[in-house]
Structure 1
Amino acid sequence: MAEINWLELGLNFLGGFGLFLFGMEFMGKGLQKAAGSKMKNLLGILTSNRFLGVLVGAGVTALIQSSSATTVMIVGFVNAGLMSLTQAVGVIMGANIGTTVTAWIVSLGEWTQFLKPSVLAPIFIVAGVGLMMFAKKSQARSIGQILFGFGGLFLGLDMMSGAAKPLSGLEGVRNLFVVLGSNPFLGILTGAVVTAIIQSSSASVGILQALALAGLVPWSSAIYIILGQNIGTCVTALLSSIGAGVNAKRAAFIHFLFNLIGSVIFMILAIIAFQFLVPQYQNILINVTDISIVHTTFNLLNTLILFPFAGTLVYLAEHIIKGKEQSEEGLQHLDERIIETPSFAIENAIKEVIRMGRIASQNVDTAINALFERDEKKIQQVFDRERSINAMQQSINMYLVKLSNASLSEKEHLTVTGLFHMVSDIERVGDHADNIAELAVSLKEQDLKFSEQAQKELKDISSIALNCFETALKAYEFSDRSIAQQVLPLEMQVDKLEEKLRSRHMKRLVEERCDPLAGILFLDMISNVERISDHASNIAMLILDENRILASEE
């Protein structure tokens, strides 16, 4: 037997593994882009029905090619208050089923000669590159990305198995796998450690399949390593829950508990089977398809066994990880873990921006009341809330910057860009509320008063402007073009009324029917109110322009 060049073997295996990871990641991003808005619609399915949660978890994981990423996303949902622990359990169980898809893709090569990685890789890569470079429609380019990812995955698998092939002739390497098969705890530990390091059970199973292609892995070691991989995949979610809320920690712990209990149950069954029922299978080499079958069977049976005990898992998590969820005045819908699936992250970003808009609207209303009532308490509320709005603007913008660097479709890029503009408009509305509160302070300090006519005029224009802003928020919240079109006439009405009131007020000043100092504040007031309606118009145009752009693209 020729001497093995260990450096070349190691580099080829690591290079293949890198390609495998890249292909899996690239394919997952292409799938997300192709799914588009369908992904965010899955969030509405996540009701208290745990069975639907299992289906959603499996579907999302099949798309993003990582149960770890799905579970991290679920931790983010729980931390953002968008999902209860009971809802999370079903999705976590489904994620374990969805992660088996990658193993089945890898298994294709064993079925026919045409489906071997060495044959499929160049076909998919050429087809993928062609679509990405020359296709005009974004959907076609996304399909190209999926095909290119497939090609990279198959090429990486072929490189890994090719690099490991010479090891099949080494007795020491074969004995190592025999030891892992005869010692369940060592086999499980190996699978858990490798998966924890690379933070992907799909990739870890891919390595195992590459070694199986090289004729190195017996049945017993494969089963114990697969059980360990399901425990190791929990590490990513556990790490992501550090610094999160109590319920987020519980969600990560439920994932760990689910996989640990399942692994222990099947480890006992495997030991009984290899010792008493089918001892001849212990050292027989396993093939790639059989690894997929074992991986899928374990996750399906584990879900079927523990699904009725989902409430018990929640109970254990709540009693082991004690503490109360603290309500935060800051962001409620955003969590960086969710960015792993941009369509969900955008949906939540919209909710948070709308929430910021509602706070700004409330602040305008409070400021107007403070002006007429000269209420110091309300004035202070406006100033305090304005600081919160400014903090929200900074946090949301930082989140949107990170989101804009994720894998987005053209429509999603358009939405994120619109959210940047909308956050700026809302923050400016908050500034105008602050300005009105400052005017209230000046009125009180200088003991100035508006005439009854002036007060009525201010109330009229303020009411229309506030209605204009709230209508714009509603239009954006529901992405409703017909509601957005209602904003523009209201904004024009405010503009005309502002000109009319300014002219009337100048006449009162000339006729000395108004205090000049109060008159200046009156003009400042209607100017601030008019600017609020302008920002409302900007928000409405985001909906109208986005619809127009998308319609022209179609």
Structure 2
Amino acid sequence: MLTLLNLLSAVALLVWGTHIVRTGILRVYGSDLRRILSRSVQKRPLAFAAGIGVTALVQSSNATALLATSFVASGLMALAPALAIMLGADVGTALMARVLTLDLSWLSPLLIFFGVIFFLTRKQTRLGQLGRVFIGLGLIILALQLIVEAAGPMTQAKGVKVLFSSLTGDVMLDALTGALFAMISYSSLAAVLLTATLATSKVISLKVALCLVVGANLGTGILALIGSSSQNAAGRRVALGSLLFKVAGCVLVLPLIGPLAQWVDGWPFRTQELVIAFHVLYNSVRCLACLPLTTQMAAFCTRIMPDRATPEDRVRPRHLDPAALDTPSLALVNAVRETLRMGDIVEQMLVNLLQVTRGGDPLLGKEIRKLDDDVDALYTAIKLYLARMPREDLSERDSRRWAEVIELAINLEQAGDIIEHMLSAVQDKKTSRSRSFSDNGLAEITALHSQLLVNLRLSLSVFLNGDQEGARRLRRAKQRFRLQERRYAHAHVDRLRQQVVQSIETSSLHLDLIADMKRLNSLFCAIAYAVLDNPEAGAGEEHEDDYVEQALEAAAQPPGHDVPPGSSAAG
């Protein structure tokens, strides 16, 4: 029993070491690796080589699969080059298996020792993250040694021999067992090393070992497909195509496994080295043979896994025509129209939020969260659309408009997140606890909400028309809202002093809501400064606005509070 626990802990240590290396490399070189993968899409050999290189660095074909899948799901990469990257990842992980099975016992303590020093002394620097990578590599090498040492006594146990004695002839059963090993250990490397150890100890024959190796590769493909279940159809096609390539390899090689075992057995290597060498050879031949077929596989995967029909109530971009990117002025108009759609959705979220706050239909909460997902989807589409626009071809006016569009899109996306946060607060602190606002408190929240809607509509109008008079009105409206919010906060404190029970029970929620509304108002009104920030804005009008704002603030102060001349309590 202790020997089995030692083996399981060694496998777990191997998986953990791989995880540390992967996360450390991605933290230090993540953006560079993404750039390498995203640019390696013009030619299949280049994409294949990029898959090998990235997998060798991160020590995990699963990490490379996640990167490639995310690119395809976001529309930044076609399916065919992504499949080429996945084939390269399979070769890369096989090559690293060969490297890590060399006698590197002397290297493990050095890597762990210096890695811990670098990580603890320079934790927040790039050198500290590289120390994390060194620790992971040291743990991987140490885990491989522990696997070999723990598997040795197990191979002599009678129960283990009886268990593996059934793996003596059925190549399909042997391959499925290898796939199960890889899925349980979450690593084809661990499964292949365990297989090599069992073959070296004569617990299983070389033929069975080769079947287990083929099955281990199949198991990683199944894991990748399961891991991509949360992606859209485009992302899942990457894992599906990679799995189909592996299934094809299994179908072709398993009938020939007997002659291959006899051929490999004649090589001048130890049994463990024979298993690892077959692992490298099998993946290299299979991937090189499949590389010219990535386009056909991409078409096949698209046919059997088409994009799901978008429900009528599910928002998607309507105006972002890729053909218009060659005409920047037209592309900007398209982006403006889509951004206005974002504004309409945010407005609907605000309307629904007030109904939930008043105790309306609780199902509106789900609608608000769905609308926030729609806002996020439109924001991502607009952001990627603008990123594809050649900014060097934009005039000064179009460049300013480009900046206005992206700024408002960012603000609306943040506003959607704030509204969803406000919904969670209302449901947690009010609805679930059966509490209610006082009449005055609810009236104040309703008044702020109404002014917030007015400011949102005005901001969208200013964004659309670029009207400077409207921008100045919006800026004054922002100041009035902030003064009104401050006055309502003081009124709420007065109710607390009067021991109003409802105000005491909902005090935290009340103050949080009006503070969040203040943040929303700032996001909506930010477009006013973008419109006024150009040479056409008149200085005299700016000066007049300052006097108006000071007058508004003075009128909003509690009795007995003096405002120094020329000061502003914008807060």
Q: 1:243 to 1:439 in 2, by over 3 A?
A: closer
Q: 1:395 to 1:315 in 2, by over 3 A?
A: closer
Aligned residues: 402
Q: 1:188 to 1:121 in 2, by over 3 A?
A: same
Q: What is the correspondence of 1:451-530 to structure 2 with a 5 Å cutoff?
A: 457-458=468-469, 490=533, 499-502=542-545
Of 318, 329, 344, the residue aligned with 2:315 is: 329
- Aligned equivalents of 2:417 and 2:49: distance in 1? 43
Question: AA paired with 1:308?
Answer: P
- Aligned equivalents of 1:495 and 1:216: distance in 2? 88
Q: 1:203 to 1:168 in 2, by over 3 A?
A: closer
- Aligned equivalents of 1:391 and 1:192: distance in 2? 40
Of 289, 297, 305, the residue aligned with 1:313 is: 297
Q: 1:18 to 1:30 in 2, by over 3 A?
A: same
Q: 1:360 to 1:324 in 2, by over 3 A?
A: closer
Contact 1:464/1:494 (CA < 8 Å) preserved in 2?
A: no
Contact 2:10/2:147 (CA < 8 Å) preserved in 1?
A: yes
TM-fit CA distance, 1:259: 0.5
Q: 1:133 to 1:493 in 2, by over 3 A?
A: farther
SS at match of 2:229: coil
TM-fit CA distance, 1:498: 6.1
Give the stretch that moved more between structures: 16-25 or 135-144: 135-144
Q: 1:289 to 1:278 in 2, by over 3 A?
A: closer
SS at match of 1:160: helix
Which residue matches 2:215?
Answer: 228
Which residue matches 1:551?
Answer: none
Q: Deviations over 1:476-499 (max 9, x none)?
A: xxxxxxxxxx98993899796763
Consecutive unaligned residues in structure 1, runs of 5 or more: 1-6, 110-114, 333-354, 368-379, 400-418, 443-454, 466-485, 507-530, 535-554
Superposition RMSD in Å: 4.9
Which residue matches 2:242?
Answer: 255
- Aligned equivalents of 1:497 and 1:142: distance in 2? 55
Q: 1:392 to 1:496 in 2, by over 3 A?
A: farther
- Aligned equivalents of 1:178 and 1:146: distance in 2? 40
Contact 2:86/2:242 (CA < 8 Å) preserved in 1?
A: yes
- Aligned equivalents of 2:450 and 2:196: distance in 1? 63
Give the stretch that moved more between structures: 78-87 or 186-195: 78-87
TM-fit CA distance, 1:14: 1.3
Q: What is the correspondence of 1:51-450 to structure 2 with a 5 Å cutoff?
A: 51-109=45-103, 115=104, 117=105, 119-135=106-122, 138-170=125-157, 173=160, 180=167, 182-211=169-198, 216=203, 218-242=205-229, 244-274=231-261, 278=263, 287-322=271-306, 324=308, 326=310, 329=315, 362-363=339-340, 383-384=347-348, 391=372, 427=415, 438=454
- Aligned equivalents of 2:412 and 2:456: distance in 1? 25
- Aligned equivalents of 1:70 and 1:30: distance in 2? 14
- Aligned equivalents of 1:62 and 1:254: distance in 2? 21
Contact 2:15/2:185 (CA < 8 Å) preserved in 1?
A: no
Question: AA paired with 1:315?
Answer: A
Contact 1:393/1:427 (CA < 8 Å) preserved in 2?
A: no
Q: Deviations over 1:293-314 (max 9, x none)?
A: 2222111111111111222212
Contact 1:254/1:314 (CA < 8 Å) preserved in 2?
A: yes
Consecutive unaligned residues in structure 2, runs of 5 or more: 319-331, 351-367, 381-406, 420-447, 459-465, 477-528, 550-569
TM-fit CA distance, 1:56: 2.3
Q: Deviations over 1:305-342 (max 9, x none)?
A: 1111222212322333345564963799xxxxxxxxxx
SS at match of 1:329: coil
Give the stretch that moved more between structures: 188-197 or 63-72: 63-72
- Aligned equivalents of 1:288 and 1:165: distance in 2? 13
Which residue matches 1:17?
Answer: 11
Q: 1:504 to 1:223 in 2, by over 3 A?
A: same
Contact 1:57/1:98 (CA < 8 Å) preserved in 2?
A: yes
Q: 1:89 to 1:329 in 2, by over 3 A?
A: same
Q: 1:172 to 1:243 in 2, by over 3 A?
A: closer
Q: 1:439 to 1:460 in 2, by over 3 A?
A: closer
Contact 1:53/1:90 (CA < 8 Å) preserved in 2?
A: yes
Q: 1:330 to 1:19 in 2, by over 3 A?
A: farther
Contact 1:62/1:98 (CA < 8 Å) preserved in 2?
A: yes
Q: Deviations over 1:434-460 (max 9, x none)?
A: 968626989xxxxxxxxxxxx975157
SS at match of 2:76: coil
Contact 2:468/2:537 (CA < 8 Å) preserved in 1?
A: no
TM-fit CA distance, 1:281: 5.3
Contact 2:316/2:374 (CA < 8 Å) preserved in 1?
A: no
Question: AA paired with 1:363?
Answer: L
Contact 1:54/1:92 (CA < 8 Å) preserved in 2?
A: yes
Which residue matches 2:525?
Answer: none
Query: 1 or 2 for the larger relative contact order (CA 8 Å, sep ≥6)?
Result: 1
- Aligned equivalents of 1:306 and 1:464: distance in 2? 62
Q: 1:82 to 1:462 in 2, by over 3 A?
A: farther
Q: Deviations over 1:246-289 (max 9, x none)?
A: 33333222111110101222223323334xx649659x995443
- Aligned equivalents of 1:211 and 1:26: distance in 2? 28
Contact 1:31/1:146 (CA < 8 Å) preserved in 2?
A: yes
Which residue matches 1:49?
Answer: 43
Q: 1:244 to 1:30 in 2, by over 3 A?
A: closer
Give the stretch that moved more between structures: 230-239 or 98-107: 98-107
Q: Deviations over 1:374-420 (max 9, x none)?
A: xxxxxx68835987997159969xx9xxxxxxxxxxxxxxxxxxx9x
Contact 2:18/2:136 (CA < 8 Å) preserved in 1?
A: yes
- Aligned equivalents of 1:438 and 1:161: distance in 2? 71
Q: 1:130 to 1:384 in 2, by over 3 A?
A: same
Q: 1:128 to 1:279 in 2, by over 3 A?
A: closer
- Aligned equivalents of 1:30 and 1:52: distance in 2? 25
2:24 is the counterpart of 1:40:
no
- Aligned equivalents of 1:8 and 1:456: distance in 2? 77
- Aligned equivalents of 2:412 and 2:265: distance in 1? 69
Q: Deviations over 1:152-176 (max 9, x none)?
A: 1122222221122224445774576
Percent identity at matched positions? 22
Q: TM-score, normalised by structure 2?
A: 0.58
